[in-house]
Amino acid sequence: WAENPLVYCDGHGCSVAVHQACYGIVQVPTGPWFCRKCESQERAARVRCELCPHKDGALKRTDNGGWAHVVCALYIPEVQFANVSTMEPIVLQSVPHDRYNKTCYICDEQGRESKAATGACMTCNKHGCRQAFHVTCAQFAGLLCEEEGNGADNVQYCGYCKYHFSKLK
């Protein structure tokens, strides 16, 4: 995609690679580029996503001074971006508390019970299914997809549990 190039972080030991439009990079710099986490120089131990248990990846600041993955923000419907062009800060105030009370079935299945209740979970997009999971857990499992939206929303970000994702094919 020439119009949406991959941009690689030049931070020491950082492996973040993002599409320009997917991370809200208005202008790709000609010199070094640093993701927000590296740019902040905040101690890595203090940087964690407020929506999932994973610390690595493409993170941006939240409106309350924390951090969240851009992918988590895109797939949890109540999350918003204060500035849509730059995709920051990530606004979490409309996320209902019950999303934070759900348990990730993928964490449970993989023996990470201590992480299962961390952050907020999305639910399977299949009507009637109540399986809950972290966005990044679904991403690692290959369970996220983009579907054609309706009206002004040209893309709908969807995630399915393993059972219903297998039925899509």
**Beta 122-123 vs 132-133: how paired, if at all?**
antiparallel
- Using CA atoms, how far residue 13 sits from 8, 35, 79, 152, in Å, is 12, 12, 29, 39
**Domain 6-168: which CATH number of 3.40.47.10, 3.40.50.300, 3.30.40.10, 3.40.50.1820:** 3.30.40.10
User: Is the pLDDT confidence value at 55 over 80?
Assistant: yes
- Structure tokens given for 130: 């109540």
pTM attached to this predicted model: 0.93
Going by pLDDT thresholds of 50, 70 and 90, the confidence category of residue 149 is: confident
User: Is the pLDDT confidence value at 17 over 80?
Assistant: yes
User: Is the pLDDT confidence value at 151 over 80?
Assistant: no
Give the model confidence (pLDDT) of 63-78 as tens digits. 999 999 999 999 999 9
